[in-house]
């Protein structure tokens, strides 16, 4: 394609930039659009992969057919087969009626499978059958159905690594990767960063009816050197923040002011109830093992309290003394022992008195596991024995700590983003 044709495509789909890598990706998308070949779009999160799927569909022979974009990482593992391929009535609990899947409703059009690397292995096998012969089966049915759908997939992970780690089917990878398109990250696009920033700030200044933002030479240089891990999405957020928060726009924004938005100061986090993992580079990841240890020690504490309660009741019963005598070994451990730390105490046990708040030495948990840590003292109220409550609490804390960004919260919790999404739905957590 000549530069004029490429620019026409950019204008039509709102793509800003002149970098050679971007132009090459657009050129490949236009060339492959006229065919029915499967396309795999790779690139970092926020780099604009979905725009290329729309280019492929809009200038193809399927442009009058339906187009649907599906985030495979956002659909719970237990329902993704039903979403994609449909289900029959009674196929599973809650299946009150038959339902058509996306491959049926999008027949004759294009399906964009974003984050295809997050797709479960069982669903991958079903997708492979669609790619090979256009056949699929609804969940709970034995009838083979046909579909004529063009598949465009995208991923921000290295699928070859996923194949080597047995998390992605090798045969599906080569089926999807018929024509690869690489979308460059923002840091590889040179002066496109300045063009995009100017476009975003102008748009936001019109929306909020403020004066347009200008950058001085040092600020422009700083913007081009910045890594932008969130790519275009992050740049757009920064442009909106500066447009709203910088009220004095008579002078250009300098590098010191811009650096405040590029590297915001993170709020000081409170001490966690569960110690952080030793040797964790991020120092923010929650260890499921430590969470389990804390729950077990809480259960041990409450079991001790329950024994004390039973003993107190038996002491006041007619035949309770005989029962206590027959089970001395069961209740002997309660004499002058703290139910949390298992250390002797000098204060006698009060009958049927709820325990006061205690200062818990959390490092005692680590000491029993052979991991000596600095002493931390955290006041903890009596908590529920429910492991689900503990899990919900840690998920909420992780989301708050990471400003409700699921990707970073999932990484902090040591689980996948899809699992975190399922847990959020399960516990009805408001983000």
Task: State the pLDDT at residue 323.
Answer: 67
Residue 173 has pLDDT above 60, yes or no: yes
Task: State the pLDDT at residue 66.
Answer: 96
- Predicted confidence (pLDDT) per residue in 108-167, tens digit: 999 999 999 999 999 999 999 999 999 999 999 999 999 999 999 999 999 999 999 999
Q: Which of 242, 262, 260 shows the shortest CA–CA distance to 252?
A: 242
Q: How confident is the model at residue 209 (pLDDT cuts 50, 70, 90)?
A: very high
Q: How confident is the model at residue 247 (pLDDT cuts 50, 70, 90)?
A: confident
- Predicted confidence (pLDDT) per residue in 369-393, tens digit: 444 344 344 333 444 446 778 888 8
Tell me if 243 sits within 8 A of 204, measured CB to CB. yes
Mean pLDDT score, 257-286: 56
Tell me if 301 sits within 8 A of 339, measured CB to CB. yes
Domains of the chain: 3-184 (3.40.50.300), 190-262 (1.10.8.60), 286-385 (no CATH), 386-431 (1.10.10.60)
- Predicted confidence (pLDDT) per residue in 391-428, tens digit: 888 888 888 888 888 888 888 888 888 888 888 888 88
Percent of the chain whose predicted confidence (pLDDT) is above 70: 76
Ramachandran bin of 251, using left for φ above 0, alpha for ψ from -120 to 50, beta for the remaining angles: beta
Residue 312 has pLDDT above 80, yes or no: no
- Predicted confidence (pLDDT) per residue in 8-33, tens digit: 999 999 999 999 999 999 999 999 99
Task: Please provide the DSSP assignment of 82-104 as one string.
Answer: HHHH-B-TTSSTT--S-B--HHH
In angstroms, rounded to a whole number, what is the distance separating the alpha carbons of residues 373 and 366?
A: 7
Mean pLDDT score, 217-244: 94
Mean pLDDT score, 270-278: 41
Task: State the pLDDT at residue 109.
Answer: 96
- Predicted confidence (pLDDT) per residue in 327-363, tens digit: 666 666 665 554 444 444 444 444 444 444 444 444 4
Sheet holding 39-42, edge to edge: 67-71, 110-114, 150-155, 39-42, 179-182
> CB-side exposure of 401: number of CA atoms within 13 Å?
23
Instruction: Identify the weakest region by mean pLDDT among 32-36, 95-99, 215-219.
Output: 95-99
Q: How confident is the model at residue 303 (pLDDT cuts 50, 70, 90)?
A: confident
Mean pLDDT score, 204-230: 93
Mean pLDDT score, 292-301: 72
Task: State the pLDDT at residue 358.
Answer: 46
Look up the pTM and report it: 0.61
185-189, 268-272, 391-395 — most confident range: 185-189
Task: State the pLDDT at residue 190.
Answer: 93
Task: State the pLDDT at residue 324.
Answer: 64
Tell me if 254 sits within 8 A of 219, measured CB to CB. yes
Tell me if 193 sits within 8 A of 224, measured CB to CB. yes
Instruction: Identify the weakest region by mean pLDDT among 1-5, 87-91, 326-330, 370-374.
Output: 370-374
Q: How confident is the model at residue 307 (pLDDT cuts 50, 70, 90)?
A: confident
Mean of all residue pLDDT scores within the chain: 81
Tokens of 273: 């109830």
In angstroms, rounded to a whole number, what is the distance separating the alpha carbons of residues 182 and 147?
A: 28
Q: Which of 310, 22, 66 shows the shortest CA–CA distance to 192?
A: 22
Task: State the pLDDT at residue 182.
Answer: 96
Tell me if 299 sits within 8 A of 385, measured CB to CB. yes
Q: Which residue has the higher pLDDT, 250 or 285?
A: 250
In which residue are the tokens 């002997």 written?
A: 332
Q: Which residue has the higher pLDDT, 133 or 320?
A: 133
Residues 6+ apart with CB under 8 A from 379: 357, 358, 359, 360
Task: State the pLDDT at residue 289.
Answer: 62
DSSP state of 190: T
Task: State the pLDDT at residue 78.
Answer: 86
């Amino acid at each position: 394609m000549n530069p004029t044709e490429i620019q026409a495509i950019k204008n039509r789909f709102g793509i800003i930039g002149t970098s050679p890598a971007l132009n090459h990706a657009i050129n490949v998308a236009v060339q492959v659009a006229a065919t029915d070949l499967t396309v795999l779009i790779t690139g970092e999160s926020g780099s604009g992969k979905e725009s290329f799927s729309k280019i492929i569909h809009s200038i193809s022979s399927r442009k009058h057919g339906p187009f649907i974009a599906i985030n495979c990482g956002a659909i719970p593992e237990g329902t993704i087969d039903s979403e994609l391929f449909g289900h029959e009535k009674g196929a599973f609990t809650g299946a009150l009626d038959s339902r058509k899947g996306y491959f049926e409703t999008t027949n004759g059009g294009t399906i964009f499978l974003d984050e295809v690397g997050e797709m479960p292995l069982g669903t991958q096998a079903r997708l492979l059958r669609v790619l090979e012969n256009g056949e699929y089966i609804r969940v709970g049915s034995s009838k083979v159905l046909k579909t004529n759908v063009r598949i465009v997939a995208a991923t921000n992970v290295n699928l070859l690594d996923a194949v080597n780690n047995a998390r992605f089917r090798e045969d599906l990878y080569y089926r999807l990767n018929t024509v690869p398109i690489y979308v460059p990250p923002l840091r590889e696009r040179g002066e496109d960063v300045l063009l995009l920033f100017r476009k975003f700030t102008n748009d936001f200044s019109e929306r909020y009816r403020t004066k347009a933002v200008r950058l001085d030479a040092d600020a422009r240089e700083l913007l081009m050197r910045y890594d932008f891990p969130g790519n275009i999405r992050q740049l757009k957020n920064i442009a909106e923040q500066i447009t709203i928060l910088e009220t004095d726009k008579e002078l250009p924004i300098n590098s010191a002011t811009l650096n405040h938005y590029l590297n915001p100061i993170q709020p000081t986090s409170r001490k966690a109830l569960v110690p952080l993992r030793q040797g964790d580079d991020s120092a923010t990841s929650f260890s499921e093992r430590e969470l389990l240890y804390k729950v077990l020690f809480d259960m041990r504490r409450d079991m001790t309290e329950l024994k004390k309660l039973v003993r107190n009741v038996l002491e006041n019963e007619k035949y309770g003394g005989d029962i206590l005598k027959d089970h001395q070994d069961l209740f002997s451990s309660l004499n002058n022992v703290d139910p949390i730390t298992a250390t002797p105490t000098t204060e006698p046990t009060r009958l049927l008195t709820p325990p006061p708040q205690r200062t818990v030495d959390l490092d005692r948990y680590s000491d029993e596991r052979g991991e000596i840590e600095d002493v931390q003292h955290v006041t903890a109220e009596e908590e529920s024995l429910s492991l689900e409550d503990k899990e919900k609490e840690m998920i909420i804390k992780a989301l708050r700590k990471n400003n409700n960004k699921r990707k970073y919260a999932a990484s902090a919790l040591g689980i996948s983003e899809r699992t975190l999404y399922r847990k959020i739905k399960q516990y009805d957590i408001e983000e």
